[in-house]
Amino acid sequence: MIRTFVAVDIPAAFHAKISAIQSKFIGPGLRPVDPSIVHITMKFLGDVDEAQLPGIITALDRMDCPSFDSRISGVGAFPGMKNPRVVWLGADGDYSCLHGQLESLLSETGFKKEPRKFIPHATLARITYLSNPRKKELISAIDSLRDLDVGLMRVNTVKLKKSTLTPQGPIYETLHEVDLP
């Protein structure tokens, strides 16, 4: 079994900006994501048998969505600011075709459609535990970054990735890449 997901990578040109953003709030109780692997998860597939990979790849190769621009901006938290568990970087753009086709094509190979509304974002940090004073500091830092503009990127590739979890953080390997016209 291999842990897999479909993603859009954040360009390397944004990694230094992401690191600078993370420096505003990283501290006790937060596990930052290495800026070099920050991405927008389009669909988490979970643990799949290697025998399923050809079917997944065939489904991905059937995608027919045009490439588009995405504005990477704004910092927020899931599930909300009262009890943040994940700090994210926003992604604005027309992800609807991409997300819709992924859900449809992958459901044909046995993956359940995600019932929650898709909100394009890149995870910056996961929160393990925050004292009330630390939570207030984090919320203040996030509020100060709410309107931050990182830049415009072109979404022209979607990748099937393997995730290997280690004590030092996840290691990602691209298993398949699909170019969007």
The residues annotated as belonging to the active site are 39, 121
Please report the sign of the dihedral spanned by the C-alpha atoms of residue 93, residue 94, residue 99, residue 102. Answer: negative
- Report the C-alpha gap between 36 and 19 in whole angstroms: 9
Q: Where are the alpha helices (DSSP H) in the chain?
A: 15-22, 53-61, 96-107, 132-144
Contacts of 119 (CB under 8 A, 6+ apart): none
Count of Cβ atoms closer than 10 Å to residue 152 Cβ: 13
Tell me the two tokens of residue 19.
């690191």
Conformational region of residue 139, where left means phi above 0, alpha means psi within -120 to 50, and beta covers everything else: alpha
